[in-house]
Structure 1
């Protein structure tokens, strides 16, 4: 007999989180408050995303967990162990095999399908926090659709660097209504949210917020007419292992030669590509 209920959380907690998820789906980009539970992992290690995963997962689901592109980091491995120990579900490193994908800082390179759920861990859900510390006032600004502060941050970056310098957590405009933080994914991943076939859910445990982008929803990154949104560019650079150039790359330095080289950030995508290339 298990020491824990199925998926760790009690049924009442899971129902409350599911209601918050449903409200988030009904109002794309809107931050829904919820009673974030204490979890057996440190805050900041994905408690919000984990609570969504545990509330939605079923016995037939297959789970994939990513941490900054890797399936084998400490964070990803420990979350998989907790979910598997309390549910018995299968886990995988292959995006195409997963029905639920929980991620920190990345959306997989493999395009998502409409039978998959993408769950992103969020440290700071409020896109206006940098310009307004008061929660009451940021709620009022959202209600009044007052987003000049979000544009002001981008304008200051352009004045200083002649381009927007925000590498992650780049704000997006959802369904022509709410400005939203897409979690600390790189700008490279922002276009993947727009008209995605998969349901995308965002959980912030410390801030006690859940929000969502339903499938086939219009999502635009904030920009100016004369300074359009641009993703990270890797011109002239390729993944040393695969030769791919149309993926998000990490920079490394060879300790022996001091040479700089690049590898695909999505380790499972890189592995799958190499296996297919070898005919495995």
Structure 2
């Protein structure tokens, strides 16, 4: 997108939030269906967007269908607000949604669109989290037929998926899935949790915020309604675990900027070969730096 180009927002032929009203109503109806049956993959007519599929078109369509004048949106990519994908999606919303606001602080947003992360800040009942999803069905890795997968979901037959997890244990002595961890909702449907790390999966359990997941290429919407049980698949003798971020002494690493010991950390290797650890969620890290008034905190990530 050319940053110098401005869409004709005053043109009567131009529709708010890019999508036409019929498209937004259709997506909203399917969102309601998805909320009614937690984890059920609701098909919808995914529209063409002015960006390549795989760059968050599914999540963006959900966001544009929900966003209105006066709403505040935060866009995250890999936890960062300043990545190329996050900046472009945020600019697109700013150009096509006059009256809507954008922010880099999770607490100020009532709609949060994210790719690969759930914010560190605890979400509230007044917020909606939209996650981008490349492959919505966790059974894809064990069953190629969509018709057969639908039957398996309906019957709650996830034995092949559990076998896949067991094969990991046999080979690696643990479940080796690092992201998109299969998660069971309300004791029935198992969902693909999107490419969020295992660290973020427990945040779905009994979340006060509504979580919507959209796959533009696969044309599917599914949801984790507020205060819904979301339990990662595991075994009694091999429990689900998250990333620990331990150092050589077995102690939990802290963020080099804000000193957080509870957040998901990114490892950053500097040109001199030194290794540093920082919060993946840049908005959360910046807020902590401001609160701590730490002189060592920098305005930008190195």
Q: TM-score, normalised by structure 2?
A: 0.91
Aligned equivalent of 1:267: 282
Aligned equivalent of 2:70: 60
Paired residue secondary structure (1:220): strand
Aligned equivalent of 1:229: 240
Find 1:41's aligned residue among 37, 48, 51.
51
Whether 2:264 is the aligned partner of 1:253: answer no
Deviation of 1:137 after TM superposition, in Å, equals 0.7
Whether 2:42 is the aligned partner of 1:26: answer no
Deviations 1:145-199 (A, max 9, x none): 1101111111111111000111000000001110001100000000100000000
Kept after mapping to 2: 8 A contact 1:4/1:86:
no
**Structure 1 residue runs of 4+, over 6 Å off?**
none
Aligned equivalent of 1:144: 155
Measured in 1, the distance between the counterparts of 2:58 and 2:125 equals 23
Aligned equivalent of 1:183: 194
Deviation of 1:254 after TM superposition, in Å, equals 2.3
Whether 2:22 is the aligned partner of 1:12: answer yes
Deviates more, 1:143-152 or 1:64-73: 143-152
Measured in 2, the distance between the counterparts of 1:279 and 1:187 equals 30
Kept after mapping to 1: 8 A contact 2:258/2:292:
no
RMSD value, Cα: 1.2
Measured in 2, the distance between the counterparts of 1:171 and 1:119 equals 18
Measured in 1, the distance between the counterparts of 2:269 and 2:110 equals 36
Aligned equivalent of 1:112: 123
Deviates more, 1:234-243 or 1:205-214: 234-243
Kept after mapping to 2: 8 A contact 1:31/1:209:
yes
Paired residue secondary structure (2:164): helix
Size of the aligned set, in residue pairs, is 279
Whether 2:186 is the aligned partner of 1:171: answer no
Equivalence map 1:205-216=2 (5 Å) = 205-216=216-227
Paired residue secondary structure (2:178): coil
Kept after mapping to 1: 8 A contact 2:130/2:214:
yes
Aligned equivalent of 2:89: 79
Kept after mapping to 2: 8 A contact 1:264/1:270:
yes
Deviation of 1:279 after TM superposition, in Å, equals 8.5
Paired residue secondary structure (2:283): helix
Aligned equivalent of 2:3: none
Runs (5+) with no aligned partner, structure 1: none
Paired residue secondary structure (2:291): helix
